[in-house]
Amino acid sequence: MESWDEGAVRARIREMAARDPERERFGADTHRYELAPRLAEAEIRAFEESHGIELPMEYRSVVAEVGRH
């Protein structure tokens, strides 16, 4: 499983937000270049169980190590 550098990801998001102050890029009006807090492993498992799915490991690592929208 890939490990994410939360600081680097958040810095890149800040750069992207600075280049799009009017939030004109697709989806920017919704996500506003912001991430919600990281999820604990128990929260991820609970989501998977309640929806009867298994998230891809890459996505699990992002929401666990960086955050989510």
27-36: long-range contacts, CB 8 A cutoff, minimum separation 24 = 31/69, 34/69, 35/10, 35/66, 35/67, 35/68, 35/69, 36/67, 36/68, 36/69
Please answer whether residues 58 and 33 qualify as being in contact, where contact means their C-beta atoms are separated by less than 8 angstroms.
no
> What pLDDT shows up at residue 1?
55
Q: Where are the domains of the chain?
A: 6-65
> What pLDDT shows up at residue 69?
74
> What pLDDT shows up at residue 4?
83
> What pLDDT shows up at residue 68?
82
Q: Tens digits of per-residue pLDDT, 6-63?
A: 889 889 999 999 999 999 999 999 989 998 899 999 999 999 999 999 999 999 999 9
> What pLDDT shows up at residue 13?
92
